[in-house]
Amino acid sequence: MIPLRILHAVPDRGSLEYLGVGPLLASLTDLGQSVAQLHREDGIRSHVVGESHRIPCDPRWWSWLTGGRKRCARDVALWTPDLIHVHTAGLLPVALDLCRDLSLGLVVSTLTHEDAHAVRRLRDPLISWILVPTEEHRVHLTSRAGIHRDRIAVVPPGATSPKTPRTFRVEAGWRVGAIAARKPEVFAAAVAELQSAGLSLEATLHTGLLGKRARERLTDRTGSLLLDDGPLGAFLATLDVLVLPEAGDHFIPLLVAAQVAGIPVITVASPGITELLQDGETGLVLGSASQEALGDALRSLHDRERRSAMATAALLRAGGSYTAPTIASATLTVYRSCLGQSDSGHKAEVSRTWRRMTDSRLA
């Protein structure tokens, strides 16, 4: 079958890790497809996993209307893509303009329950497919946004399996890590309380999602908490437990990456989370993002056997369903439907592709 040329609209290199796009690009390349990336002009980085080409653009309205749209369309046309896959709402208007100018197919991924303004854009008839991570997200877009179900496919983010098997530390040396975007102090306070009560655990906070002010606030409050701003994969490889101490379905790619790596996850209930994480089996789902709830959850996972059982359950569930090659194959089916097989019957079949693949691997 003829390889496709897919242009992925992403803000910058950091978003590849946190949106789960990097593993998808690498797997599509392994499948023989050509991938390129459309970045914001101020988000260009020197190296991005899986890329074959980069195209800068400046989506600010004054720049876009004074020649930016024409320049970007020219650069995109030179690469001759078959379709555009948008991974962030901020670049959707740019992608819609380019699809109108160049008659390209358009696929949009959304991880969150979009606000009213973003939903209006998702109703644009130029969008062939909307990819969502869970059935709950699809129900939201169909019932509350009025988008037809046959335009929405459930295709969760994929993650790369670790190259080496995980080993579990003894009680005195287990390590918990957290990724927060707004309130890292909740994690820091919960860890400090447990350590003062005599529990032996190492704690690390990944600062990649924190803004400058949040990092400055942490400077004098970390105590024995370690800070890590390195690659996300390397950070996850050091952990026995991952904590996502805030509610938000934008954390779904991180949850999936942890499960594929065999790491139990503690997170806060939010749309779609309970569909991907089995409370008490592959992790713990908290009812609130409070210090008390997080402290109790961490205390319950101090038992090595329980952590080990959850890690094994996560590997069994996620190892065949959420790996990047599996998700890339499902996404490639969507791409081909977008380009040449858009009748409603085939759309309904593709929308069930992920569910069928999941069921066969869990049987």
Confidence (pLDDT) at 347: 45
What tokens does 287 get?
A: 């009812």
Confidence (pLDDT) at 345: 42
Nearest to 253, CA basis, from 109, 358, 140: 109
CA 298, 303, 307: angle at the middle one, nearest 5? 80
Kindly report the length of the chain.
Answer: 363
Nearest to 188, CA basis, from 230, 150, 225, 243: 225
CA 104, 344, 98: angle at the middle one, nearest 5? 15
Confidence (pLDDT) at 363: 40
- Domains (range + CATH), the chain: 5-160+323-362 (3.40.50.2000), 171-318 (3.40.50.2000)
Confidence (pLDDT) at 344: 40
Q: pLDDT by residue for the chain (363 residues), tens digit each?
A: 788 999 999 877 667 778 889 899 999 999 999 999 998 765 444 444 555 688 888 888 888 888 889 999 999 999 999 999 999 888 899 999 999 999 999 999 998 776 666 778 888 999 999 999 999 999 888 887 788 888 999 999 999 887 655 555 544 568 999 998 887 888 988 988 888 888 888 889 998 888 777 777 775 555 678 888 888 888 998 899 999 998 888 889 999 999 999 999 999 988 888 889 999 999 999 988 899 999 999 999 988 889 989 999 998 888 778 999 999 999 999 999 988 744 444 444 444 444 444 444 444
Which residues lie below 8 Å from residue 266, measured CB to CB, with a gap of 6+? Answer: 241, 242, 243, 244, 245, 283, 284, 286, 294, 297, 298, 301
Confidence (pLDDT) at 260: 92
Confidence (pLDDT) at 82: 94
